[in-house]
Amino acid sequence: MRLERQGSLFATFSLGKLKVTALSDGYADMRITTLKGMDGALAPPTFLTEAGLTGEKLRLDVNAFLIGTPDGNLLIDNGSGDAWHSTAGRLHDALDEAGIARNDVGAVAITHTHVDHINGLVMTSLKPAFPSASAVYVPEKEIKLFAAESRLARVSGLVRPLKDGQMIGEYVTAEAAYGHEIGHTAFLVESDADRLLVWGDIIHAPAVQFAHPEITWEFDADQDAARSTRLKVLGRTAREQLPVAGAHLAFPGIGHVKLSAEGYAYLPLS
C-alpha cells in the first residue's frame, strides 16, 4: 500500500487496482475505566502509566474506510452521525474534503451495529446520507440489532444480511470476528498481490491493547470472545504481514502489526 493523498480528515492509499480512503469521523473521549482487566476488574494502573495514560480520559479516534473499486465505492462503517459525542460525526465532512460525493457511495457495509459505526447512514433529518447506495450489508447475526435502531428506519429497506465468508463484489470478503459484538465482522480487501484487513473494533486503545491484548473493553458484548478473537487476529496479521485498518487506531488508522517483546506492537503506515 502507498499513501497517495492526505488532508486533515482523509488519507487515500493505493492497494493494487483499488484506492482505500481512510475517513476520520473525529474522536470521543472515554473514561479510562472503560478498559477492563482479565477478570473484568478495572485495568491495573501500571498498564495505563506504561502507556502514558495518566489523565482521566482515553481518546478514541473513530475512522471509516472507503474502498474504491473499478465497480464502485464501498463504504465500510460510517461514523456516528449526530447521535454521539459532539467531537465525532465528521465523516461527511471527511468525504467532502476528499472530494468524494455522498452520491458516489455505491454500497455500505458495517462491521457491527454500535453507534459509532452506523449513525452516519442518515443525516440529522434522518434522510439517507448515501442516496445512491444500493445496499447496506449488515452481519447476519446483527440484523435484529440493526432493525431495533428506529432512527435508521429510512435505510432499512436496503439491508442485506452478510454471512461469514461472503464476498461483496470482486475484492472484499467478510470474515467473522465475533466478540466485541455478536456479529462483529472484519473485511479482507484484496487486489493483485496487495491485501488489507479492515478489522473494525479488534483494538480500542492502541496504547494499551497491542502490548496487553488480554485487556478488554467495557462495551465488548462478550469479553472472553472479544479477547480470544483479538489474540487470533493479532497473531495472524503479524504472521502474514497483513496490513490492517482499524476503526479506532489513530487516524488514518492503517498500519502493520508486529510481534514485540511484550505482546504486539503497531507500526502506522507512513
Using the minimum distance from each CB to Zn ion, give the nearer residue, 201 or 220.
201
Stretch that binds Zn ion, among 77-85, 109-117, 162-170, 236-244 (CB under 5 A): 109-117
Where does this chain touch Zn ion (CB under 5 A) — which range of 99-107, 120-128, 142-150, 196-204? 196-204
Task: Output the CA angle 40-250-240, nearest 5 degrees.
Answer: 80
Place of cell 487476529: 233
Q: What is the side-by-side order of every strand in the sheet holding 185-191?
A: 167-168, 172-176, 185-191, 194-200, 244-246, 254-259, 264-268
Regarding 142 and contact with Zn ion (CB under 5 A), the answer is no
Q: How far is the CB of 116 from Zn ion (least distance, A)?
A: 5
Residue 220, helix vs strand vs coil: coil
Residues in binding contact with Zn ion, number by CB under 5 A: 2
Q: Note whether 116 binds Zn ion by CB under 5 A.
A: yes
228 DSSP 8-state letter? H
For the bound state, the minimum distance from the C-beta of residue 101 to Zn ion, rounded and expressed in Å, comes to 26
We find the least distance from the C-beta atom of residue 14 to Zn ion, in angstroms, to be 26
Spatial separation of the C-alpha atoms in residues 150 and 200, rounded to whole Å: 23
Residue 19 vs 204, nearer CB to Zn ion = 204
Q: Can you tell me the distance from the alpha carbon of 120 to that of 63, in angstroms, rounded to the nearest whole number?
A: 12
User: Taking the complex as a whole, how short is the minimal distance between the CB of residue 219 and Zn ion, in angstroms?
Assistant: 8
Beta carbons within 8 Å of 69's beta carbon, 6+ residues apart:
17, 18, 169, 170, 171, 172, 191
Please identify, among the stretches 25-33, 51-59, 127-135, 201-209, the one whose residues bind Zn ion according to the rule CB under 5 A. Answer: 201-209
Is 143 exposed, middle or buried, given 0-12, 13-18 or 19+ CB atoms closer than 10 A? Answer: middle
Stretch that binds Zn ion, among 88-96, 185-193, 198-206, 208-216 (CB under 5 A): 198-206
Nearer to Zn ion, 44 or 219 (CB): 219
Which lies closer to Zn ion via its Cβ, residue 19 or residue 90?
90
Q: Which residue has the cell 472515554?
A: 30
Decide if residue 201 touches Zn ion (CB under 5 A). Answer: yes
Which run of H or of E encompasses 24? strand 18-31
Least Cβ distance, residue 111 to Zn ion (angstroms): 8
Q: Is 77 in the site for Zn ion (CB under 5 A)?
A: no
Q: Which span (21-29, 73-81, 98-106, 110-118) binds Zn ion, by CB under 5 A?
A: 110-118
Contact 182, 143 (CB under 8 A): no
The answer to the question of residue 25 lying near Zn ion (CB under 5 A) is no
Interaction site with Zn ion (CB under 5 A): 116, 201
